[in-house]
Amino acid sequence: MIKTEQPAAPADVASHYDELDYFYRDIWGEHVHHGLWLTGRESRAVAVRQLVEAVAKAAELQEGQSVCDIGCGYGATARLLAAEWKAKVTAITVSPAQHAFAASLADEKENPKYILGDWLAQRLPDSSFDAAIAIESSEHMPDLRQFFLQAARVLKDGGRLVVCAWLSREDPQAWERKLLLEPICREGRMPCMGTESDYRALAAETGFDCVRFQDVSREVSSTWPRIAWTFFGKLIGNPRYLRFLFNRHARNRVFAFTIFRLWLAYRTGSMRYGIFTFLRAPAKPPFDNAAPAS
């Protein structure tokens, strides 16, 4: 597992998204995650929707089910699940800017319901959700094991947890760690970047069975060249970008260079992207070692 020397606290993650709020919405739009290119010819809007569709399919969502969207960003995925899958969605983000934007689009039905808070500290009721999803949010958790424990606590027995995760290759070389993976974690406010095996092991320790893993690295990798070209165009045409990049007080301006690191990390195979489907195993009854009655 790739770890940063000074793990990002939830406040650092919130600060990252709050400071970059304008740029994320200007470049990414409401979906702040990878797209899934199934043919390679899709627009980015279609590709990001296809990733949400893949997550909903993996979660086996049905009308009326309760779903928790962990790290919901601007709430676009939550809104799709509520509108098109008729799910009852609770969505949580640590970023005040993201929460304010999502809440501004909320309807009178309060579905989705948006919560501003730290997933690791939330107190949602036990066994209250049929499914939970985490699209590129587990990387921001300072304690990945606790991320799984919280999910296990709020899910019903047999509930599904679908995690879309940025992953490191299993045995990265020293140059990959130094030049790509560790800077990406540090600049993206990610305390760690796990491998497929790390996620499988932590899930098993915390009461989950991994029923499926999809390596979609090739299908999502088009995200970064497209984002890079979009960013370059904005840099030329929008003075706000240049002012931000040259503002020495902007803590997160370095993320502009991280975009190109990510592009290279996928090109070299240093990074992978996986969709995990975990099943919340039923709690085992206490072992009774009393002697049977004669």
Assess whether pLDDT exceeds 60 at residue 287. Answer: no
Provide mean pLDDT across the span 31-50: 94
User: Could you tell me the residue ranges of all domains in the chain?
Assistant: 2-280
Residue 140 near residue 193, CB atoms below 8 Å: no
Please tell me the predicted confidence (pLDDT) of residue 247.
Answer: 86
Please tell me the predicted confidence (pLDDT) of residue 294.
Answer: 39
Position 286, amino acid = P
Q: Is the peptide bond before 112 cis (omega within 30 degrees of 0)?
A: yes
Residues above pLDDT 90, as percent of the chain: 72
Q: Between these two residues, 134 and 282, which has the higher pLDDT value?
A: 134
- CA–CA separation, 45 vs 53, rounded Å? 13
Provide mean pLDDT across the span 286-290: 45
Residues above pLDDT 70, as percent of the chain: 94
How far is C-alpha 3 from the geometric centre of its chain's CA atoms?
Answer: 17
And the tokens for 264? 């290279």
Mean pLDDT, the chain, rounded, equals 91
- CA–CA separation, 87 vs 216, rounded Å? 26
Q: Which of 148, 136, 82 is nearest to 113 (CA)?
A: 82
How far is C-alpha 92 from the geometric centre of its chain's CA atoms?
Answer: 12
Please tell me the predicted confidence (pLDDT) of residue 291.
Answer: 45
- CA–CA separation, 293 vs 98, rounded Å? 61
- CA–CA separation, 52 vs 31, rounded Å? 10
Q: Which of 259, 155, 275 is nearest to 212 (CA)?
A: 275
And the tokens for 102? 């999502």
Query: Residue 163: which region, alpha, beta or left (left: phi > 0; alpha: psi -120 to 50)?
Result: beta
Helices and strands in the chain, H and E counts:
13, 9
| Spatial CB neighbours of 251, under 8 Å, sequence gap ≥ 6 | 15, 16, 19
What phi and psi, each to the nearest 5 degrees, are found at residue 101?
A: -65, -45
Range 2-280: architecture per CATH: 3-Layer(aba) Sandwich (3.40)
Residue 125 near residue 95, CB atoms below 8 Å: no
Q: Between these two residues, 187 and 155, which has the higher pLDDT value?
A: 155
Q: Between these two residues, 253 and 234, which has the higher pLDDT value?
A: 234
Give residue-wise pLDDT tens across range 75-98: 999 999 999 999 999 999 999 999
Please tell me the predicted confidence (pLDDT) of residue 288.
Answer: 45
Give residue-wise pLDDT tens across range 95-150: 999 999 999 988 767 899 999 999 999 999 999 999 999 999 999 999 999 999 99
Please tell me the predicted confidence (pLDDT) of residue 285.
Answer: 52
Alpha-carbon torsion angle 60, 64, 65, 70, nearest 10: 100
Please tell me the predicted confidence (pLDDT) of residue 113.
Answer: 95
Which residue has tokens 């919130």? 14
Q: Show contacts of 230-236: CB within 8 Å, 24+ apart.
A: 230/27, 231/27, 231/256, 231/259, 234/26, 234/27
